[in-house]
Chains A and B, each alone.
Chain A
Amino acid sequence: MANINNSAQDRTFDAIVIGSGISGGWAAKEFTEKGLKTLVLERGRDVKHLKDYPTTNMYPWEFPHRGQIPEAIKEENPVVSRCYAYKEDAMHFFVKDKEHPYVQDKPFDWIRGYQVGGKSLMWARQTQRWSNYDFEGPARDGFAVDWPIRYEDLAPWYSYVEKFAGISGNKDGIAHLPDGEFLPPMELTKVETYFKDFVAANYKDRHVIYGRCAHLSEPQQIHKEQGRVQCQKRVLCQRGCPFGGYFSSNSSTLPWAEKTGNMTLRPFSVVHSIIYDEQKGKATGVRVIDTNTKQMTEFYANVIFVNAAAVNTNLILLNSTSHRFPDGLGNDSGLLGKYFAFHNYRGHISALYEGYKEFTTEGRRPTSAYIPRFRNVEKQETDFLRGYAAGFISERFSFTKKEGFGHSLKEQLFNEELGPWFVGSHMMGETIPKEKSRITLDKEKKDEWGMPLLHVDMDYDDNDEKMLKDFFEQMTEMYTRAGFTDIKTSDSKQAPGLDIHEMGGVRMGNDPKTSLLNKWNQLHACQNVFVTDGACMTSTSTQNPSLTYMALTARAVDHAVSQLKKGEI
């Protein structure tokens, strides 16, 4: 990288993208492809595809603790240690609690990935579209504010990002879970297929479908051009994939942006704030703290995309104060940081199935089956608002008996036996954004880089508890009727945040008095600043949100560039 700190001119770009995760990577790709000189700022270190996946080809026996996190690390970092993917093979991609403190006014497990690629390296890769049943939810059910967009606004952009990212799935023809541009789906197991057929025959409005996921089940030309090949079913995704088998910024959008010659990627760059020019009435750049030297440098551009991941995007805007915006950039409504929400992942159910003993599976699969939302879809029918989707998986595990000792024990260990079909689901519930669920900045305490410490203050509510109860009841009934046995439900009681689907705080809406962003993801009050990560979400629905961030980002960049050309921003 050239020394870009020399003069203001050297520090001036056409566009600045804050963050290099799943949405920032898309912003980088879109801007650079359209010919804009783009600065991509990443607070963490660089992680280059192929080069920086140190554990990717390691065998189980090469990990001293066979994947387990040592107790001393767990004790020092209780939050991240609760994350399912925080294991010995991928721990280097997760932020340790100790290194980046925040204040939990109520318990909130904030899972972060501070590196180039962000959490797109370790995400769970499930990708479903929203429908108008989701976008019209707040207006129909009277919460939050109406979304300023509808499915029709986003549908072409879903198609656009799906083709490039590569999404495996099946066209199911479900109105509230629209079909996409799918590569072939991953197979279902025998018992998953049985349950799919059982549900179709016995429940009019319920479906069990092939999981839709960002894996190259059958790579197309566009994927080959990215240097990515077919998913090899390793299911070691969280280590970074040397095949580019799943979509990440590192394997896909960032190298694509790099190839244009228009991208300047600057790791170790914490964005302190966005610079607002009172005369011009718009943002002119950002203040960046170099994490190594702790020096502050300004960078300038005509348009700024904030893709720092939901919570940190709120932090940057709240910290961007000026005479015009004393309470944070674009915060005329006073709602910045409020109406934050997440997904309710507390419910789990497991069971066994005694049938189909003569069948099993072979190889590994990076996804499972999926049960789209079936509660309150067409109209309100329960005593809680909205609903939940669920994962569905059925597989057989091999085990060995471990009785006694000596030669007989060794014989047992040498001869694996096939267990029964295990069956399980987890809940993905929509939560209702509330004004009191919010992110604020500490007035005094600062972190190592001089940024104010974040406060997170949110919790489950009565609606979430009722929905959890309904999940247990409905799933237990479906499982029972399908002939599953040994059914067990459990409430993980996990804190909000551990779903890693935190959303909101900078919500979209039609009215500047009740929202921060317009229908193009521009701040109502500062139109050359866009937010297209989780922070922009007006409501949460039940779908894994990343695909929607990608589509919103590509759409917003397209709009930004056309406005720039017309001199409108």
Chain B
Amino acid sequence: MLVSRRTALKQVLFVSAGLALLPSCFRKTPPASIKLRNIVLDADDENVLAALADTLIPKTNTPGAKDVSAHHFTMTMVDDCFKKEDQQRWLEGMKAFDKLCRDKYSHAFEKCTPDERASLLTTLEAAKADTDAAAYFYQTSKRLIIQGYTSSEYYLTKVQVYELVPARFHGSIPVKQPDRRTA
């Protein structure tokens, strides 16, 4: 079904106006699955982040970012460790990201085909975060998803092993070229 941009926007406005009037318990979309203190995210937002995590660092023979809950980590960090103005910017960026996706493909990011996702992210990789809201959301979330992934138990026990008790320091050893790891 093709819907004109104007009609789509009208529908969105109508629906959101309706939602605003309804008590939250009648809302169709349940809240996010983790407790947040400062920002409000619902299950749809969480799905977008999960899909983004899965697209950025997909599951292969090894776990991907979604498998290690890097999207939840992202939500926690924005909620607790971002300044108010940055939270606002990120939330607006998320809306812009969603709108960009719907404008282009008429559905949410998680419904996109791999090609659609790739095309969208390629655009946002090249865009400037300081002028483009969707790019700010994408690039900020990418940084947090990578941080969540590379500091996860999986990554630090199976990929780059973190030693709690190294029990040694050698100041000068020859560099060994590590074997290339397949992800």
Q: Which residues of A contact B (CB under 8 A)?
A: 57, 59-61, 64-66, 68-72, 186-190, 192-193, 230, 232-234, 236, 357-365, 398, 400, 402, 404-407, 409-411, 413-416, 418
Whether the pair A66, B167 counts as a contact (CB closer than 8 A) is no
Smallest Cβ distance from A102 to chain B, in angstroms? Answer: 26
Contact A413 B80 (CB under 8 A): no
> Across the two chains, which residue of chain A brings its CB closest to B143?
A402
| Bound CA span A199–B36, Å | 54
Q: Is the Cβ of A60 less than 8 Å from the Cβ of B168?
A: no
B170 within 8 A of A: yes
Given contacts A360-B175, A405-B142, 11 further A-B contacts (CB under 8 A): A59-B156, A66-B73, A68-B81, A189-B171, A189-B172, A190-B171, A232-B165, A358-B175, A362-B173, A402-B146, A410-B58
B55 proximal to A (CB < 8 A): yes
- Do B175 and A233 have beta carbons less than 8 Å apart? no
> A364 to B162, alpha carbons, bound, how many Å?
11
Q: Which residues on B sit within 8 Å (CB–CB) of A234?
A: 164-166
Interface contact A361-B56, CB-CB below 8 Å = no
- A413 to B151 Cα, complex, angstroms: 11
Among B55, B151, B182, contact of A61 (Cβ-Cβ < 8 Å): B151
Interface of A, secondary structure class, is loop
Sample (14) of A-B pairs whose CB atoms are under 8 Å apart? A59-B153, A59-B164, A72-B80, A189-B171, A189-B172, A190-B171, A234-B164, A361-B172, A363-B170, A364-B169, A402-B146, A404-B125, A406-B56, A411-B182
**Chain B interfacial positions (CB closer than 8 Å to A):** 38, 55-58, 60, 62, 64, 73, 76-77, 80-83, 118, 121, 125, 142, 146-147, 149-153, 155-156, 159-160, 162, 164-175, 178, 180-183
Query: Nearest chain A CB to B158's CB is how many angstroms away?
Result: 10
A405 to B152, CA, bound (A): 18
Chain B residue contacts of A407, Cβ below 8 A? 58, 60, 183
Bound together, the chains give a CA A331 to CA B139 distance in angstroms of 61
By Cβ-Cβ distance, the 8 closest A-B pairs, closest first, are A187-B171, A410-B183, A363-B168, A363-B169, A70-B80, A190-B172, A365-B169, A414-B183
Cα distance A193–B77 in the bound complex, in angstroms: 40
Give complex CA distance A236, B77 in Å: 23
A413-B73 Cα distance, complex, nearest whole Å = 18
Complex contact B182–A414 (CB within 8 A) = yes
Q: Which residues of A contact B153 (CB under 8 A)?
A: 59, 61
Closest residue of chain B to A396 (Cβ to Cβ) is: B175
- Tell me the minimal C-beta distance from A95 to chain B in angstroms: 21
A192 to B76, CA, bound (A): 40
A359 near B172 with CB under 8 A, answer yes
Q: Quick one: which of A57, A236, A362, A410 contacts B170, CB cutoff 8 A?
A: A362
Closest to A194 in B: B172
Of the candidates A65, A189, A362, the one whose C-beta lies within 8 Å of that of B81 is: A65
Residues in A with CB closer than 8 Å to B156 are: 59-61
Given A413-B146, A415-B180; A361-B80 close (CB under 8 Å)? no
Instruction: Compute how far the CA of A404 lies from the CA of B126 in the bound complex, rounded to whole angstroms.
Output: 10
Q: CA separation between A15 and B173, bound complex, in Å? A: 53
Pick from B73, B76, B80, B169: contact of A362, CB under 8 Å: B169
B173 near A411 with CB under 8 A, answer no
A360 nearest in chain B by CB position: B175
Pairwise interchain contact A413-B183, C-beta atoms closer than 8 A = yes
Q: Are B170 and A70 in contact (CB under 8 A)?
A: no
**A234-B162 Cα distance, complex, nearest whole Å:** 11
**Neighbouring A residues of B175 by C-beta, 8 Å:** 357-360, 418
Whether B64 contacts A410 by the Cβ 8 Å rule is: yes
Enumerate chain A residues within 8 angstroms of B60, measured Cβ to Cβ.
407, 410
A409: B residues at CB distance < 8 A: 56-57, 146
Q: A61-B151, A70-B80 are in contact. Are A413 and B57 (CB under 8 A)?
A: yes
Query: Is B169's CB under 8 angstroms from A187's CB?
Result: yes
- In the assembled complex, which residues on chain B have CB atoms less than 8 Å from the CB atom of A414? 159, 181-183
A153, chain B: closest CB distance, angstroms = 36
Closest to B79 in A: A70
Q: How far is the CA of A398 from the CA of B153 in the complex (A)?
A: 19
